[in-house]
Amino acid sequence: MLMSLFQFTSRRLASQAYCGLKASSSKKHKFCMEMARRSSNMADFREVFAKAKHIVIITGAGVSAESGVPTFRGAGGFWRKWQAQELATPEAFARNPSRVWEFYHYRREVMLSKHPNPAHIAIAECEKRLSKQGRSVVVITQNIDELHRKAGTKHLLEIHGSLFKTRCTNCGNVAANYKSPICPALAGKGAPDPETEDAVIPVEELPQCEEDGCNGLLRPHVVWFGETLDPDILTEVEKELDICDLCLVVGTSSVVYPAAMFAPQVSARGVPVAEFNMEATPATDRFRFHFSGPCGTTLPPALARHETEIIS
């Protein structure tokens, strides 16, 4: 998946992301060395935050983990006998759409019981407050759980899609879908226990397109391993990265491409980047700030109203 997503990213995005590692001039080299001296001084970050007009916040699985959302990663990241990368592929869906839909039905049902945590809420409240000051906040998320949307975030780019959208494999129609269950045949199905037998639901009983005369098989509208990101969304992402004057990286491992390039691209042009994560990542040394700990604890005070803000 990493290579296909990387290749799909525009040449300009890729070259900017790597220029921070391959500086060609002594001036550029000096700048990169200075950026490597990261700070955990919240007061310094708050001064930068107070002056920022266009803020980009990039979020990953870490921000949702604090809401109890399963990540399906690492040693314990199994659903029944499979890891996510064995189910979240076009090939897996073609071989066994019933099993894949059971997996996504389980994830949808779990998410209906989850709620935004203080990090999601802090981001949404910050966006609302700064919009009244003529300042912008845009969230670029790798998460498909819609917790940012539940929290009230308006300017949201979901680069990996959403659990609560479907796409028809026949006509291509994309639609929001919050039904529970998404179809009668999946009611009570999807249990994650390794001993659970597959439901083996006939294709005609799986979620079907409701467009007139179609009835095609629906699939989750998410980006699977081996698929490329929506070019229109990537264009919007690049536009936001080009104009931002502050970037936050929240709860992301900085290893999944092309999202792993976004913040380094911003840092490479001299824009402050602040990382909020439980631990350091491969990109940490390229950012100006790093704040360790749960995002729900570190982010709210970082985004709270600054004393210089004028509230109308």
**Cβ atoms 259, 60 nearer than 8 A:** yes
* Whether the bond into 294 is cis, omega within 30 of 0: no
279 marked among binding-site residues: yes
76 marked among binding-site residues: yes
Q: Which among 225, 234, 299 has a CA at the least distance from the CA of 262?
A: 234
301 marked among binding-site residues: no
Measured CA to CA, the distance from residue 99 to residue 14 in angstroms comes to 36
243 marked among binding-site residues: no
96 marked among binding-site residues: no
79 marked among binding-site residues: yes
19 marked among binding-site residues: no
155 carries an active-site annotation: no
226 marked among binding-site residues: no
> Which residue among 120, 148, 160, 221 is the active-site one?
160
**Cβ atoms 43, 289 nearer than 8 A:** no
60 marked among binding-site residues: yes
49 marked among binding-site residues: no
71 marked among binding-site residues: yes
Q: Which residues pair with 174 in a beta bridge?
A: 167
69 marked among binding-site residues: yes
In one letter, which amino acid is 199? A
**Chain-centre distance for alpha carbon 208:** 27
Angstrom distances, CA of residue 41 to CA of 27, 46, 172, 268, 291: 26, 9, 49, 21, 8
Measured CA to CA, the distance from residue 167 to residue 133 in angstroms comes to 38
Count CB neighbours of 184 within 10 A: 8
Count CB neighbours of 179 within 10 A: 12
Q: Which residues belong to the annotated binding site?
A: 60-79, 104, 107, 142-145, 168, 171, 209, 214, 251-253, 277-279, 295
Q: Which residues belong to the annotated binding site for substrate?
A: 104, 107
Q: Which residues belong to the annotated binding site for Zn(2+)?
A: 168, 171, 209, 214
Q: Which residues belong to the annotated binding site for NAD(+)?
A: 60-79, 142-145, 251-253, 277-279, 295
Question: What residues act catalytically?
Answer: 160
